[in-house]
Chains A and B, each alone.
Chain A
Amino acid sequence: MTARTGARIKGGVGESTYRSDGIPKVDGTFIYSSDMYMDRMLWGATLRSPHPRARITKLDIGPALAMTGVHAVLTDDDVPGRKTYGLEHPDQPVLGSESVEYWGQPIAVVAADDPEIARRAVDAIDVEYEVLTPLTDPIEAERLDSVFKRQRCRRGAEKRRGMVAVEGYYEVGMQDQAPLGPESGLAVPDGGGGVDLHIATQWTHIDHEQIVACLGLADDQVRIHHSGVGGAFGAREDVSLQIHLCLLALHTGRPVKMVYSRSESFVGHVHRHPALLWYRHEADADGVLRRVEARIVLDGGAFHSTSSSVLSNAVYHAAGPYRCDSVSVEGVAVKTNNPPCGAMRGFGAVQSCFGYEAQMDKLADAIGMDRIEFRIRNALQRGDPLATTGQVIETSMPAVELLERVRGMPLPEEGASEDPRLLPGGTGLTTPGASVRRGVGYALGLKNLCFSEGFDDYSEARVCITPFGVEVHTAAVEVGQGLGMILTQIARTVLGIEDVVVYYDDTSKIGSAGGTSASRQTQMTGGAVLEAAKMAREIALTRGNGDELDDAGVWRGGELVTPMSELVGGKPIEYHIRFHHPPTEQPDENGQGNLHVDFAVAVHRAVVDVDQELGLFRVVQIDTVQDVGFMINPRSVVGQIEGGVMQGVGLATLEEIVIEKGVIKNPTFTDYLLPTFLDAPRIEVQVVEERGAFGPFGAKGVGEPPTVSSTAAVVAAIRDATGLELNRTPVRPEHVALAPVQAGRHP
């Protein structure tokens, strides 16, 4: 009889195991949604509005339909069910009919034999517009009461005032998620009036809900399959081409594939909300924060998407991870004819952090206190109420430890290098090393984890023990973050069985796992797998009449009593669960309540070299300490942090969708610049592991916190090097070289 080794399971939690999609992704065999292929497949293309606001006076599809190789041209008339869709409010037309409200809004879709014919057919559609003046100024929109939502947080006595006060206006530009994989999918009619959609998305079940409503089909006639996703970052939360593809497939009776070009992708998904912020902070002369007042205006663009939730989040996070008993924050998300905005990594918390962290520096300077010391003095701790909502933080809140740790991390060597690759502007530009000044900036950020405000947040999972190993079934979407590996590690640890395979089921086979968003999947689907695996283990021990389980089977008192073949040979063990996180509340009229289930904090220290005369800068290093709960996979945690920091660096230094009168001026990677290898700072990562509220093994989500405060830290460092106020992000060379020209207005 085999003896139990008692060794810890290989590849369990806490280990940097390898992901099962690693090899197919390096050898080129991994299939993304844009790689799917079927015989007799048609290609789709979309007619989009060339105006940000217009009435459609003529729409004749005849010339396009007459073309050889064109199989369908569909408009609003062909949408059989609800004519509009939307994540939280269905206000966006599937296809614009009488009018269009933003540049690039879809009006008609085409299916043809190949992509080129499809594009030519789009051009052949005869459409005429009466062009109207777009509403593009968010302040004007608020004045006209063109508003998606207003949200306030009021707490404490208004007259509780500090001796020292600082005010500031801040502005955040519109950032694009720019996942490298473009929007793409393949819809396959099932021959019985239904359809299967293979799609890169972030939440198959929420897509399903919107698709069946617009197609006017029963739930079981549409199945959404999660296919290979080339990054997401919020860009795939809203429906883009999902409904269009299903319409075309059902209409033609053939599989239809669509892949957006990069320029189309820029109008095909929502963006990070541009923000105007005004802040007033007051403190006592000894450095205790006494009052925070803020006004936040987010431009939601033409349709609702998640603007309401992003606004609420911006407001709830408006004071950051700091204690304060007297707070008044007013926020508004306005409707304009700019491109629609919605989810992006950080979800509203990024915008407020840019404001409150600049204020914390100003206030520390005004008091004459060290900036880190001032933060430590006011940092939120376990047992404190959140300044905005009043929710008492009952789980880990290691903000003070983060600040102390980052202060102690070694700074890079002083003095700019003479290697042009390491100078601001790089090899193509002419900064002499001598004119470079180095700046250092800090920022501390707060992010809620999982869905909030009373939303019924749950994830379903099924764990099966079979003679061939363990199957984990979920509808959660792997967008590249490594979820499959996390779930595998959790199942292995609980069951003691190494052979675990994760199956991403379609929407007909299992219930919702919720979105891959709000940094929630490790906690939610991880939590579901943990609980389901524990129950499966209990069943196995009872069935096998023992006290331990591993690959060999069930053991009792160190002896194998029921081998695996016997345990599950006749009937696999299966446990299905719907896992909920502890409930949250809806806010009262003053934005008060226990709205969030868990939080994470992160701190960033940026070191930036600046050539002020030329307005050039280079981010040399970012040191960060993040509150992660527990690292299920350390290598993957570091990867999330490095990637998240970089998107924050992008927003600080390069990334902005430039809009003129409602039209995007830079919808390409030639003009919308992403950080390259040479722009990448060295990133030093440390973590604090203190158990979170409910995640498996104490884990907290790690995806968003790195993006919340890295932008603020980089801009603080450029301020430090130049002495300029720099109240707008991204910082442009002209803001530095042509100072004191300052952007920003009273919102």
Chain B
Amino acid sequence: MRIHAEVNGEAREFETKGSESLLFVLADQLGLPGAKGACEQGECGSCSVMLDGRLVCSCLVMAVDVDGSEIVTVEGLGRSGLHPVQKALVDSGAVQCGFCTPGFVVAAAALLDENPVPSSDEIREALSGNICRCTGYGAILRGLDSLAGNR
């Protein structure tokens, strides 16, 4: 099946057999390996992307279903210099192995779009679908708190 979609602002097309997830196709066919697959079950958020303005787990989206959609991945967020979320996470030392990071970047950017000044508890709640095994979340919270002007 031939699928057409707007990915990070560009018109792209790709072929899918029908059984593949959007996560797989992004890396395998579109050269966008930024979204990460840590569970492929919708449990960890590492594969987060924006699909028609909604935050989704790309591991749970079938590639055939994105025909005509608009997709933004972590690669698309930083196209014109680092996105403020990306900069904040580097500055606060929120990156260790970094496997969770693209998911946190996309999810945090989505949160700030909706609520530019979330409280610490709102940040924690909004990102509770994203798992990080390395940092204990402290540095991630410090980065996003500073962006939201908390404390």
Please report A residues at the B interface, Cβ cutoff 8 Å. 16, 18-19, 21-23, 25-32, 34-35, 37, 115-116, 178-182, 229-233, 259, 261-262, 419, 421-422, 427, 479-482, 635-636, 638-639, 642-647, 668-670, 674, 676-678, 680, 683
Q: Per a CB cutoff under 8 Å, which of B95, B130, B139 touches A26? A: B95
Whether B75 and A642, one on each chain, are in contact in the complex, defined by CB atoms closer than 8 angstroms, is no
Whether B96 and A180, one on each chain, are in contact in the complex, defined by CB atoms closer than 8 angstroms, is no
Whether B75 and A180, one on each chain, are in contact in the complex, defined by CB atoms closer than 8 angstroms, is no
Given contacts A180-B100, A422-B121, contact A674 B33 (CB under 8 A): no
Whether A680 and B99, one on each chain, are in contact in the complex, defined by CB atoms closer than 8 angstroms, is no
- Which residues of B lie under 8 Å from residue A645 when comparing CB positions? 136
Output the least CB separation between A486 and chain B (Å). 13
Further pairs besides A23-B90, A26-B101, A481-B96: 17, Cβ < 8 Å: A22-B90, A26-B74, A27-B77, A116-B19, A116-B20, A179-B133, A181-B99, A182-B37, A232-B97, A262-B41, A482-B96, A643-B96, A643-B136, A668-B39, A668-B43, A676-B130, A677-B130
Whether B93 and A229, one on each chain, are in contact in the complex, defined by CB atoms closer than 8 angstroms, is no
Which residues 26-82 of B have a CB within 8 angstroms of A?
27-28, 32-41, 43-44, 46, 73-75, 77-78, 82
- Which residues of A lie under 8 Å from residue B121 when comparing CB positions? 419, 421-422
Whether A27 and B78, one on each chain, are in contact in the complex, defined by CB atoms closer than 8 angstroms, is yes
Whether B125 and A421, one on each chain, are in contact in the complex, defined by CB atoms closer than 8 angstroms, is yes
Closest 3 CB pairs of A and B: A28-B34, A480-B97, A25-B98
Q: What's the Cα separation between A261 and B137 when bound, in Å?
A: 24
Q: What's the Cα separation between A676 and B44 when bound, in Å?
A: 9
Whether B133 and A231, one on each chain, are in contact in the complex, defined by CB atoms closer than 8 angstroms, is yes
Answer whether residue B7 sits at the interface, using C-beta atoms and an 8 A cutoff. no
Whether A182 and B82, one on each chain, are in contact in the complex, defined by CB atoms closer than 8 angstroms, is no
Residue in B closest to A644 when the chains form the complex, CB atoms = B136
Output the least CB separation between B41 and chain A (Å). 6
Whether B133 and A180, one on each chain, are in contact in the complex, defined by CB atoms closer than 8 angstroms, is yes
- Which residues of A lie under 8 Å from residue B44 when comparing CB positions? 180, 669
Q: What's the Cα separation between A170 and B101 when bound, in Å?
A: 37
Answer whether residue B22 sits at the interface, using C-beta atoms and an 8 A cutoff. no
Q: Per a CB cutoff under 8 Å, which of A116, A419, A636 touches B93? A: A636
- Which residues of B lie under 8 Å from residue A480 when comparing CB positions? 96-99, 134
Whether B93 and A21, one on each chain, are in contact in the complex, defined by CB atoms closer than 8 angstroms, is no
Whether A642 and B38, one on each chain, are in contact in the complex, defined by CB atoms closer than 8 angstroms, is no
Q: What's the Cα separation between A37 and B32 when bound, in Å?
A: 12
Residue in A closest to B85 when the chains form the complex, CB atoms = A26
**What is the interface size of chain B, counting residues whose CB is below 8 A from a CB of the partner?**
59
Whether A26 and B33, one on each chain, are in contact in the complex, defined by CB atoms closer than 8 angstroms, is no
Which of A32, A233, A642 is packed against the most chain B CB atoms within 10 Å?
A642
Which of A22, A115, A261 is packed against the most chain B CB atoms within 10 Å?
A22
Q: What's the Cα separation between A280 and B75 when bound, in Å?
A: 58
Output the least CB separation between B111 and chain A (Å). 12
- Which residues of B lie under 8 Å from residue A178 when comparing CB positions? 133
Contacts A/B (CB < 8 Å), 15 sampled: A25-B98, A26-B102, A27-B86, A28-B34, A28-B75, A28-B78, A31-B33, A32-B36, A262-B41, A479-B97, A481-B96, A639-B139, A646-B136, A669-B39, A680-B138
Whether A643 and B134, one on each chain, are in contact in the complex, defined by CB atoms closer than 8 angstroms, is yes
Q: Per a CB cutoff under 8 Å, which of B20, B41, B95, B141 touches A22? A: B95
Q: What's the Cα separation between A23 and B91 when bound, in Å?
A: 10
Which residues 98-148 of B have a CB within 8 angstroms of A?
98-102, 105, 121, 123-125, 127-141
- Which residues of B lie under 8 Å from residue A669 when comparing CB positions? 38-39, 41, 43-44, 131
Residue in B closest to A650 when the chains form the complex, CB atoms = B133
Output the least CB separation between B124 and chain A (Å). 5
Whether B97 and A28, one on each chain, are in contact in the complex, defined by CB atoms closer than 8 angstroms, is no
Q: Per a CB cutoff under 8 Å, which of B82, B127, B133 touches A27? A: B82
Whether B82 and A680, one on each chain, are in contact in the complex, defined by CB atoms closer than 8 angstroms, is no
Whether B40 and A261, one on each chain, are in contact in the complex, defined by CB atoms closer than 8 angstroms, is yes
Q: What's the Cα separation between A677 and B131 when bound, in Å?
A: 7
- Which residues of A lie under 8 Å from residue B33 when comparing CB positions? 28, 31-32, 35, 37
Q: Per a CB cutoff under 8 Å, which of A28, A31, A422, A683 touches B74? A: A28
Answer whether residue B17 sits at the interface, using C-beta atoms and an 8 A cutoff. yes
Which of A26, A116, A180, A680 is packed against the most chain B CB atoms within 10 Å?
A26
Residue in A closest to B87 when the chains form the complex, CB atoms = A26
Whether B102 and A28, one on each chain, are in contact in the complex, defined by CB atoms closer than 8 angstroms, is yes
Given contacts A23-B90, A668-B43, A678-B128, contact A639 B97 (CB under 8 A): no
- Which residues of B lie under 8 Å from residue A643 when comparing CB positions? 96, 133-136
Output the least CB separation between A8 and chain B (Å). 21
- Which residues of B lie under 8 Å from residue A233 when comparing CB positions? 133
- Which residues of B lie under 8 Å from residue A642 when comparing CB positions? 135-139
Whether B38 and A181, one on each chain, are in contact in the complex, defined by CB atoms closer than 8 angstroms, is yes
- Which residues of A lie under 8 Å from residue B40 when comparing CB positions? 261-262
Q: What's the Cα separation between A677 and B142 when bound, in Å?
A: 13
Residue in A closest to B99 when the chains form the complex, CB atoms = A230
Q: What's the Cα separation between A419 and B120 when bound, in Å?
A: 13
Given contacts A25-B95, A31-B33, A643-B96, contact A680 B124 (CB under 8 A): yes
- Which residues of B lie under 8 Å from residue A229 when comparing CB positions? 97
Q: What's the Cα separation between A21 and B89 when bound, in Å?
A: 12
Given contacts A26-B86, A642-B139, contact A180 B97 (CB under 8 A): yes
- Which residues of B lie under 8 Å from residue A31 when comparing CB positions? 33
Which of A28, A479, A642 is packed against the most chain B CB atoms within 10 Å?
A28
